[in-house]
Amino acid sequence: MGQWEVDVVQERRRRQGKEVIVPIILETIDSKHMTSQLRTLLDSTPSLRYRSGV
């Protein structure tokens, strides 16, 4: 995780409190491997997408 991602997480925690969830997507998740709860979380929560080599 790069410095930008860390800064985003820290800012979100500062604004929304320590109980905030910040999903970090390391690779594409095939929808057949998701529960409906996980799909809802990813659809309703801003997330960070990690890309190596960037």
SS3 8: helix
**Residue 8 within a domain:** yes
**Residue 54 within a domain:** no
- Domain limits at 20? 3-49
Split into its structural domains, the chain has a count of 1
**Residue 27 within a domain:** yes
pTM, to two decimals = 0.47
Alpha carbons 37 and 54: distance in angstroms, whole number: 30
Q: What is the pLDDT of residue 48?
A: 67
Cα angle, residue 37 at apex, residues 32 and 43 outer, rounded to 5°: 85
Please give the chain's pLDDT, 54 residues, in tens.
Answer: 577 777 877 888 888 887 877 777 778 888 888 888 888 887 887 776 766 765
